[in-house]
Amino acid sequence: MIQGYHRNIAGIPPIPHGMGGMHTACATVLSLRYHKATVPTIRVATASASPAVDYTVAIAPGLLRTLYPRLRKLTPGKSPSTFVVTSPAIWALWHKPFLASFPKDKKPAVLFLPAGESHKRLATVESLAQQLACAGADRDSILLAFGGGVVGDVTGFLAAIYMRGIRYVGIPTTLLAQVDSSLGGKTGVNLLAGKNLIGSFHHPLAVFTDIDLLRTLPSAELRSGLQEAIKAGIIYDAKLFRYLEQNTNKIIESKSATQPSLSAKSALRKEQRTPNAKGTDAGAPHLDSGMWDSAALQKVVTASVRVKAEVVAADEKESGLRMILNFGHTVGHAIEAATHYRKLLHGEAVAWGSIAALHLSLNRGRITPEEFARMANLILRYGPIPPFKADPAKLVSLTSADKKKRSGRRAFVLATGIGRTEVVYDVTDAELLAATRAMLTDMRASERVR
């Protein structure tokens, strides 16, 4: 495994010596034809932005090997210079298919961004911008964000501010980036004070989502991305939720170990007792395999992208509906901060944050015990989700730094059913502390079962 992101597969060599060093809404599924291949495409469009947002997300295996003609279709009659921003690990694995369709005199320059959340900083953006300037990048240049969420966020922000804004194309390589962060226009970097506090809304020119790129993804990264897909089902798409429930063994092959299952009866007992008590049962399968079904995973990616496209099209700047995409993220971001971004992948932190949000939803009577059990069990089924150590009071305190606060009020997304949510601003620290304690109780129970 290379830097914990993608693992080596046969036939892909390391980096060659000397390479690199540098509210009108519409979300529809289209079909674009490239070189005798029909590719499912989801359109992201909104007239609320200025200028209006209108781009497509293509989702299929094998897109990487036809990248250059796809880029040419985006800029007919022009041949702008292109710059790839990627990590050394990703480039080592995938540079040959990436460059396969580029003519020798049109190959892009490569700028390397070290892997990891610790490099999602303003200093990194300044370094990359300096490299662009030295290489002669101008306002017609196009950046290619080839990597996971960090690469996408940093490249998008770099594109937003370099020469006051240039274009970029997303080529996400992790499942989490494919289903969520590569579209929607949110770009940015972290401060010591919190995550994504410096950034801009800057949409890509297009997104090319190649399912084949997931072949080198470690199992933990795959499961982390699936947590964002589960979130999409919980907040918006009950059909996607059911598909994830019914096709677990297609999406990820099941093994014989067990994962704790939260029964409706347990949830009901919890509701009748104290807010932070929790009962669990054993029984649901505990998944531990890198095997996955390409067709099933493509369905999950496509459905998740459609959810985000529809939400973003209706509310680009997160003034209303788009806030539902933050389900599980308020506590999830607090978990990441408390563990210094080293213990959990983003999707894993969101998974625990989602369970906390479900406890809060149940305590307020917004979901039934049966709904709680279905949603919490689905999150756990796509584990294992690593445990962590944190003081619940500290987690509650860290949520006060959440950038989604409005006029000093903490926004919190609650589930009101499978496929339904609401945003509230009156969650008290006591309520959140009870939900966080209940989540930590669930986590300890899952450790005992493993």
pLDDT in tens, 292-345: 688 899 999 999 999 999 998 888 877 788 899 999 999 999 999 999 888 999
Within a domain: 94: yes
pLDDT at 272: 33
Helix, strand, coil percentages in the chain from 3-state DSSP, rounded to 5 = 45, 20, 35
pLDDT at 199: 95
The answer, yes or no, to whether residue 212 has pLDDT greater than 60, is: yes
Per-residue pLDDT tens digits for 398-435: 998 665 666 567 889 999 999 999 999 999 999 999 99
Are 122 and 138 members of one domain? yes
d(C-alpha 92, C-alpha 332), whole Å = 31
pLDDT range class, residue 262, cuts 50, 70, 90:
low
Per-residue pLDDT averaged across 184-189, rounded? 92
Active site residue 286: no
Q: Regarding predicted confidence, which is higher, 289 or 261? A: 261
Within a domain: 315: yes
d(C-alpha 422, C-alpha 100), whole Å = 47
The answer, yes or no, to whether residue 289 has pLDDT greater than 70, is: no
Q: Which of 6, 120, 167, 186 is catalytic?
A: 186
Secondary structure class of 12 (helix, strand, coil): coil
Per-residue pLDDT averaged across 341-350, rounded? 93
User: Which residue, among 194, 200, 108, has the nearest Cα to 154 in the 3D structure?
Assistant: 200
pTM: 0.82
Per-residue pLDDT averaged across 90-94, rounded? 95
Rg, C-alpha atoms of the chain:
21
Phi/psi of residue 172, each to 5°?
Answer: -70, 140
Are 41 and 167 members of one domain? yes
Q: In which region does residue 282 sit, left (phi positive, over 0), alpha (psi from -120 to 50) or beta (all else)?
A: beta
Are 175 and 208 members of one domain? yes
Q: Which of 95, 346, 374, 404 is catalytic?
A: 346
Are 311 and 323 members of one domain? yes
Active site residue 329: yes
Q: Which of 322, 359, 404, 437 is catalytic?
A: 322
What percent of the chain is modeled with pLDDT above 70?
A: 80
Structure tokens at 250: 């297609």
User: Which residue, among 389, 391, 392, has the nearest Cα to 433 in the 3D structure?
Assistant: 392
Q: Which of 228, 336, 348, 371 is catalytic?
A: 228
pLDDT at 228: 95
pLDDT at 403: 56
Active site residue 228: yes
- The per-residue pLDDT of the chain, averaged, comes to 83
Are 230 and 212 members of one domain? no
CATH number of residue 158's parent domain:
3.40.50.1970
Are 243 and 134 members of one domain? no
Structure tokens at 252: 């990820």
When mean pLDDT is compared across 101-110, 198-207, 298-307, 313-322, the lowest value belongs to 313-322
Q: Of the candidates 197, 216, 235, which is a domain's last residue?
A: 216
Are 63 and 168 members of one domain? yes
pLDDT range class, residue 53, cuts 50, 70, 90:
confident
pLDDT range class, residue 76, cuts 50, 70, 90:
confident
Within a domain: 351: yes
The answer, yes or no, to whether residue 193 has pLDDT greater than 90, is: no
Within a domain: 3: no
When mean pLDDT is compared across 19-33, 174-188, 279-293, the lowest value belongs to 279-293
Q: Of the candidates 216, 232, 249, which is a domain's last residue?
A: 216
d(C-alpha 87, C-alpha 90), whole Å = 5
Active site residue 447: no
What percent of the chain is modeled with pLDDT above 90?
A: 65
Q: Regarding predicted confidence, which is higher, 26 or 48? A: 48
When mean pLDDT is compared across 62-76, 111-125, 281-295, 330-344, the lowest value belongs to 281-295
User: Which residue, among 410, 228, 369, has the nearest Cα to 361 in the 3D structure?
Assistant: 369
Q: Which of 117, 316, 318, 336 is catalytic?
A: 318
Within a domain: 13: no
pLDDT range class, residue 26, cuts 50, 70, 90:
very low
Within a domain: 116: yes
The answer, yes or no, to whether residue 259 has pLDDT greater than 60, is: no
Are 105 and 143 members of one domain? yes
DSSP of 267-328 = HHHHHHS-TT----EEEEE--------HHHHHHHHHHHHHHHHHHHHH-TTSSSGGGGGGTT
Are 322 and 198 members of one domain? no
Within a domain: 77: yes
Within a domain: 299: yes
Range of the domain at 286: 219-449
Q: Total domain count for the chain?
A: 2
pLDDT at 400: 83
User: Which residue, among 56, 48, 61, has the nearest Cα to 29 in the 3D structure?
Assistant: 56
218 contacts 7 by C-beta, under 8 angstroms:
yes
Residue located via tokens 């006060």: 400
411 contacts 423 by C-beta, under 8 angstroms:
yes
Q: Which of 308, 404, 410, 437 is catalytic?
A: 308
Are 103 and 155 members of one domain? yes
Q: Which of 6, 333, 381, 404 is catalytic?
A: 333
Q: Which of 223, 306, 329, 410 is catalytic?
A: 329
Active site residue 164: yes
The length of the chain, given as a count of residues: 450
Q: Which of 17, 36, 164, 340 is catalytic?
A: 164
Are 211 and 317 members of one domain? no
Q: At what angle do helices 238-246 and 294-314 cross, to 10 degrees?
A: 160
Per-residue pLDDT tens digits for 116-157: 888 999 999 999 999 999 999 999 999 999 999 999 999 999
Per-residue pLDDT averaged across 353-364, rounded? 98
CATH number of residue 365's parent domain:
1.20.1090.10
The answer, yes or no, to whether residue 255 has pLDDT greater than 50, is: no
Residues 6 or more apart whose Cβ sits within 8 Å of residue 210: 60, 61, 62, 63, 64, 171
User: From the CB of residue 35, how many other CB atoms can be counted at a distance below 10 Å?
Assistant: 9
Per-residue pLDDT averaged across 169-190, rounded? 93
Q: Of the candidates 170, 185, 216, which is a domain's last residue?
A: 216
Are 205 and 224 members of one domain? no
Active site residue 326: yes
Active site residue 95: no
